[in-house]
Amino acid sequence: MNHHEDSNTNFIKEEDQVINLREILVKYIYHWPLFVFAILICLSAAFFYLRYTQKVYAVSSTLLIKDEKKGGMPAGGDLLNELDLFGASKVIDNEIEILKSKTLMRKVVERLNLMASFQSAGRVINSELYLNKSMKFHVVALDSNWYGKTLALSFPNANTYQLKDLESGESFKGLLGQLQRNKLGVYKIDLNPHLARPVTKDISVHISDPYVVADQLLSKLSVNLASKQSTVLNLGFETVVPQQGQDILNTLVQVYNEAALSDKNRTTQST
């Protein structure tokens, strides 16, 4: 008798479980439009993120650091100097700090004229342009009052250009390839006649403080030892324009070598 009652009890419990699951499913099915809407929102957000987020590229280079003191030693030199690992490490650390210094990066900014950046207007976002080969903005000196401002760039004809401040309406016209002196500063805009003319509409030029640009570039620069036993440095730079990253690293190495040679010459003259 007790066995029969237990069977009935188990049957009722199983039936209750089935009924509960059915109620839960009904609740979810009732709200299915919300689930579909949420999925569509997530897919749309993912699409726009992948479509309009600019890709970031990693550009790399290597640099060999030579220890002049050890390089000039004879074959039978002091054994203690040969085993001076801490001294070599200290030299490498110093060179890494020099490569990451604001002084060198400021020279890179000036040499590549990176205080003037170009952008092309898009339907949703603006895209950064690097027109170093087709067009060059040579800066001698810029008035600091224009730092942080954006100018619209256009080419009325094959020989002239126009820079216009969209806020004030003030514009500057000049001949391509000729040095200009005006309220903006002293500069020159060149077009490479052997390459196609850049996009002539919706190009803007943003004028920045060279010190601010140098700090921004340094935040994207990495300098590390290739290995503990070597004197080779790995230089890395993150950028949305690979060609610009390559030019920045190459110019940084060039400026570094020039500074090292200048320091060596001063040391030679003082002895």
Report, in angstroms and rounded to the nearest whole number, the Rg of the chain calculated over CA atoms. 32
Cα-flanking dihedrals φ and ψ of residue 163, to 5°?
-110, 130
What rounded mean pLDDT belongs to the chain?
78
Structure tokens at 266: 């001063």
| pLDDT value for 245 | 92
Instruction: Name the least confident of 75-79, 134-138, 153-157.
Output: 75-79
**Backbone dihedral region of 150: left (phi > 0), alpha (psi from -120 to 50 degrees) or beta?**
beta
Q: Which two tokens stand for residue 125?
A: 């976002």
- Its pTM stands at 0.71
Confidence of residue 11 (pLDDT cuts 50, 70, 90): very low
* Tokens coding 136: 């060059």
pLDDT band at 231 (very low <50, low <70, confident <90, very high): confident
Which band of pLDDT confidence, cut at 50, 70 and 90, is reported for residue 74? very low
* pLDDT: which is higher, 117 or 127: 117
Contact between 65 and 92 (Cβ < 8 Å): yes
Chain-centroid distance of CA 205 in Å reads: 18
- Residue recorded with tokens 């203690």: 80
Q: Compute the average pLDDT of residues 91-107.
A: 91
